[in-house]
Each structure stands twice: as structure tokens, then as C-alpha cells.
């Protein structure tokens, strides 16, 4: 009898321990993340434009052609508010735009020679004049204007004195030490440069590592920056009118294809070597509720590229199909909690989170298996389980 009582107690202990262990393991299990398509918005426009920006106050979306030659604003329902083509004619004329996006409720354009021009519909309403001559071939993938107190921040423009031969050894080495941001006092016109690639970065290892394109996103008193060409995020903290480097976050991305560095004296060989494949790119950092999303493409191997007719339209579509967009997820402390969340196949560059916390992307009609009677915006929800 004592034997059976002892056996029952041991069995009960095993069951109890297993139950506790099971509950603990459930609590310790990592969360599962996904980007779920929850809705779409149709725009009555027969053409192809890419979603560039979003104004949360008015609830307006800004779309554009890739070269910014034509832009369009729509509301939350997809109703077209305006369609504007660039023109050099008239008092509001602009011959070219190097950057496009919202700034304080207005549409901002970076021009080759007039600084930033702010528009409401077709009318110029204000200007942000750069108080020095700058080179007009810098093409910004985002406008990147922000304000702290009385100073306006923007990507540092190359002055005319930046006259090293493009893509030479001296060009790259000077570019790697170039400021990322500049701020302007619109009253006094004085400028301050701030934010540099930190010494911790491999880009400063003395080699030619590619052409960094800083993508900066302001989150309160923090500025999160990607350099486009590597799977890393650099965090900077605001201190007065400057941003000081805080920490570097390396993103774990399986299958990421890096650029191949070359020695400085062989700078001209960099593009020759790296044109054989498509390197990975980190193109955007978004905030979705309490999480951050790093948007990237992994790249295409040299073996895969060898079978593609790069010069043909069909070949370009193959490249887009083979290099889709993904997102890595970070918690509030910038710990990586998920990777390789796929966006819908026919996604243009993911640039926008709306005031409902939805990631909104424009549909790339060239990658779609279905035809629509107009442009489509996809609304995606970050699901956490």
C-alpha cells in the first residue's frame, strides 16, 4: 500500500512539474509576427505612381513618379485631391525635383538651385533657402525635413566645393567623413552640420565600401539612420541642436548579399566588381505602435544575375520579382524579435505608416498577376501572436 501511495505522489509531482514547465515554456516562447493584408484603397487613376509620404494631420497620401516629374495627393478614401506635373513655366514653375515629401502639412520639393520649396496644391507658399551654392544632382529617396525648436534639419547637400572626381578614391573617402545632417536657422540663415558615420562602422575601415545613402527617421529625441548599403541601424540622440551617436544595431538577415569592398587605389573597380550581382539594401525604418520595422531587400546573387538580360524590360521585371521586400521587427529597446516578414509580392518601396498604425504600400502594377481599374494602396497590419 505504501508503495502505491509513494508511486501516486511521484506521478503527481511529475505531472505538476511538467505542467509548470509547460506554462513557463509557453511564456518564454517567442512571439510570432506577420504583415497581414487587411484592406485596400482604389484610386481612380490609370497610371503608375509610387506612394512617397503621408500627412497624419490631414490624412493625405502623396504619390509620385520615380523622377518626381508628376505628383498626386489623395485622401484616406482614395479620392484624388490634385494631380500636378512639374513645369518650369509660370511663377510657381520648377524644372526638376531632387526630393519630395510632406513637411508640416505642405508638399516639399528639393530643387537643383532654389533649396526646398513648399507647396499647397500648385501654389508656392514658402521656401527654405540653402545659404550656399550646392550641387544639383543629389537625388534624395525621401525629403527628410524635420524641425527642432527654431531649426530645420535636412540631409546635408554637397556644396560646389565638393569637387573630387565622382567615384574616385578621394571622392569615396571624403564622402564617408561627410556630415549626414545639416540644420538651418531660417531667420539668421546660419547652418550647423551634425551626425556623422560613427567610427564603429565598417564603412570607415579604409576600403571603398559603396555609396552610402543616409535614410534618417526621427522618433522623438532619437534619429534612426540606415546607410542603404548595409544591414545596420545607427541610433543618434538629440543633444541641443546636434545629434550624437548612441549605438549601432546589426540586423540578422539570412541570405543578405553584401557589397564587395575594394582597396582605395582600385576605387574604379568597385562598380565593375559589384555590378555582377545585386547587393542587399536597407531602405526604410518605420514605427508601428510599440515596434520598429526595418525594410530591406536581400539582393540577387551573381549566378542568378547571369541568366537575366539586364538591358531588357523583361529582365528588369525579373530583377524586381527576384528581389522582394521584407521587414525585420524590433521591440522598443531595439532588440530584434523577428526577421523576413514578407510584403505583398507587388509592393513598391514601403514608406508609410498611417495614423491607424497600418503600413500602407502602393501596388507595383508591373509585378501584379491581376489588372485593376486604377491604382491600389494596400493596408497591412502588423500581427503579433
User: Are residues 212 and 235 both part of a single domain?
Assistant: yes
User: Are residues 42 and 10 both part of a single domain?
Assistant: no
- What is the band of 373 on the pLDDT scale with cuts at 50, 70, 90? confident
C-alpha closest to that of 51 among 26, 78, 25, 33: 78
- What is the band of 95 on the pLDDT scale with cuts at 50, 70, 90? confident
**Which single residue is written with the C-alpha cell 541641443?**
240
User: Are residues 357 and 377 both part of a single domain?
Assistant: yes
Q: Which residue has the higher pLDDT, 20 or 251?
A: 251
User: In this structure, which long-range contacts are made by residues 156-159, counting pairs with CB atoms below 8 Å and at least 24 apart in sequence?
Assistant: 156/180, 156/181, 156/182, 156/193, 157/130, 157/182, 158/134, 159/132, 159/133, 159/134, 159/135
Q: Which cell is 99 given?
A: 526630393
| Bridge partner residues of 288 (DSSP) | 291
By residue range, what is the domain housing residue 4?
1-30
Looking at residue 368, its pLDDT comes to 85
Q: How far is CA 78 from CA 41, 42, 52, 120, 377, in A?
A: 6, 6, 15, 19, 8
CA pair distance 174, 164, nearest whole angstrom: 9
Inter-residue contact 63 to 49 (CB < 8 Å)? yes
Kindly state the DSSP code that residue 266 receives in the 8-state scheme: G
**42-86 pLDDT, tens per residue?**
999 998 899 999 999 999 999 999 889 999 999 999 999 999 999
Q: How far is CA 345 from CA 26, 180, 293, 306, in A?
A: 33, 32, 18, 23
| Bridge partner residues of 286 (DSSP) | 293
Phi and psi angles of residue 321, each rounded to the nearest 5 degrees, phi first: -65, -35
Q: Which helix (H) or strand (E) holds 340?
A: strand 336-342
Inter-residue contact 330 to 347 (CB < 8 Å)? no
Task: Find the range with the poorest average confidence among 69-83, 153-167, 273-287, 315-329.
Answer: 153-167
User: Are residues 24 and 139 both part of a single domain?
Assistant: no
CATH number of domain containing 193: 2.120.10
User: Are residues 40 and 20 both part of a single domain?
Assistant: no
Residue 72 lies in a domain: no
Looking at residue 175, its pLDDT comes to 95
Average pLDDT for residues 334-346, to the nearest whole number?
Answer: 97
Average pLDDT for residues 238-254, to the nearest whole number?
Answer: 96
Phi and psi angles of residue 172, each rounded to the nearest 5 degrees, phi first: -65, -45
- What is the band of 89 on the pLDDT scale with cuts at 50, 70, 90? confident
User: Are residues 154 and 15 both part of a single domain?
Assistant: no
Q: Who's near 302: CB < 8 A, 6+ residues apart? A: 276, 277
**Structural domain count, the chain:** 2
Residue 367 lies in a domain: yes
User: Are residues 13 and 38 both part of a single domain?
Assistant: no
Q: How many CB atoms lie within 10 A of CB 200?
A: 12
**Which single residue is written with the C-alpha cell 494596400?**
378
Q: How many CB atoms lie within 10 A of CB 261?
A: 18
Mean model confidence pLDDT for the chain: 90
User: Are residues 329 and 308 both part of a single domain?
Assistant: yes
Q: Does the pLDDT at position 17 exceed 70?
A: no
Q: How far is CA 218 from CA 140, 148, 227, in A?
A: 17, 10, 15
User: Are residues 43 and 22 both part of a single domain?
Assistant: no
Residue 117 lies in a domain: no
Residue 186 lies in a domain: yes
Looking at residue 29, its pLDDT comes to 63
Q: Does the pLDDT at position 252 exceed 50?
A: yes
User: Are residues 26 and 141 both part of a single domain?
Assistant: no
Q: Which residue has the higher pLDDT, 12 or 49?
A: 49
Q: Which residue has the higher pLDDT, 149 or 303?
A: 303
User: Are residues 19 and 144 both part of a single domain?
Assistant: no
The percentage of residues in the chain with a pLDDT greater than 90, rounded to a whole number, is 81
Residue 87 lies in a domain: no
CA pair distance 154, 166, nearest whole angstrom: 23
CA pair distance 350, 113, nearest whole angstrom: 29
Q: Who's near 82: CB < 8 A, 6+ residues apart? A: 72, 73, 121, 122
**Which single residue is written with the C-alpha cell 500602407?**
360
**Secondary structure class of 136 (helix, strand, coil):** coil
**216-225 pLDDT, tens per residue?**
999 999 999 9
Residue 57 lies in a domain: no
Looking at residue 28, its pLDDT comes to 56
- What is the band of 370 on the pLDDT scale with cuts at 50, 70, 90? confident
Q: How many CB atoms lie within 10 A of CB 94?
A: 19
The percentage of residues in the chain with a pLDDT greater than 70, rounded to a whole number, is 92
Residue 333 lies in a domain: yes
Q: Does the pLDDT at position 22 exceed 60?
A: no
- What is the band of 157 on the pLDDT scale with cuts at 50, 70, 90? very high
Q: Does the pLDDT at position 1 exceed 60?
A: no
Strand 116-120 versus strand 242-250 pairing type: unpaired
Amino acid at each position: 500500500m505504501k508503495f502505491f501511495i509513494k508511486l501516486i505522489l511521484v506521478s503527481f509531482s511529475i505531472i505538476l512539474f511538467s505542467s509548470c514547465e509547460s506554462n513557463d515554456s509557453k511564456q518564454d516562447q517567442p512571439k510570432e509576427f506577420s504583415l497581414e493584408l487587411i484592406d485596400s484603397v482604389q484610386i481612380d487613376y490609370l497610371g503608375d505612381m509610387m506612394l512617397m509620404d503621408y500627412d497624419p494631420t490631414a490624412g493625405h497620401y502623396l504619390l509620385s513618379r520615380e523622377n518626381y516629374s508628376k505628383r498626386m495627393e489623395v485622401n484616406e478614401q482614395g479620392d484624388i485631391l490634385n494631380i500636378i506635373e512639374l513645369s518650369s513655366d509660370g511663377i510657381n514653375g520648377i524644372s526638376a525635383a531632387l526630393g519630395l515629401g510632406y513637411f508640416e502639412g505642405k508638399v516639399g520639393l528639393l530643387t537643383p538651385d532654389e533649396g526646398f520649396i513648399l507647396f499647397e496644391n500648385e501654389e508656392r507658399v514658402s521656401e527654405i533657402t540653402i545659404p550656399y551654392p550646392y550641387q544639383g544632382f543629389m537625388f534624395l529617396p525621401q525629403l527628410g525635413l524635420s524641425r527642432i525648436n527654431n531649426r530645420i534639419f535636412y540631409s546635408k547637400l554637397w556644396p560646389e566645393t565638393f569637387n573630387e572626381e565622382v567615384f574616385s578614391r578621394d571622392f569615396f573617402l571624403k564622402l564617408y567623413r561627410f556630415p549626414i545632417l545639416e540644420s538651418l536657422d531660417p531667420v539668421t540663415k546660419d547652418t550647423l552640420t551634425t551626425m556623422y558615420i560613427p567610427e564603429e562602422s565598417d564603412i570607415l575601415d579604409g576600403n571603398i565600401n559603396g555609396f552610402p545613402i543616409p535614410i534618417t527617421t526621427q522618433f522623438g529625441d532619437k534619429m534612426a539612420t540606415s546607410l542603404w548599403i548595409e544591414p545596420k541601424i545607427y541610433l543618434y540622440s538629440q543633444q541641443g541642436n546636434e545629434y550624437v551617436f548612441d549605438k549601432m544595431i546589426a540586423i540578422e538577415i539570412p541570405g543578405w548579399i553584401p557589397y564587395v569592398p575594394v582597396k582605395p587605389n582600385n576605387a574604379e573597380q568597385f562598380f565593375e566588381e559589384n555590378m555582377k550581382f545585386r547587393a542587399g539594401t536597407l531602405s526604410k525604418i518605420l514605427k508601428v505602435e510599440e515596434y520598429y520595422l526595418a525594410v530591406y531587400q536581400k539582393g540577387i546573387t551573381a549566378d542568378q544575375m547571369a541568366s537575366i538580360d539586364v538591358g531588357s524590360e523583361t529582365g528588369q521585371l525579373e530583377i524586381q520579382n527576384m528581389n522582394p521586400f521584407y521587414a525585420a521587427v524590433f521591440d522598443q529597446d531595439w532588440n530584434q524579435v523577428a526577421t523576413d516578414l514578407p510584403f505583398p509580392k507587388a509592393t513598391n518601396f514601403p514608406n508609410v505608416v498611417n495614423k491607424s498604425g497600418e503600413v500602407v504600400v502602393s501596388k507595383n502594377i508591373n509585378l501584379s498577376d491581376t489588372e485593376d481599374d486604377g491604382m491600389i494602396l494596400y493596408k497591412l497590419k502588423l500581427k503579433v501572436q
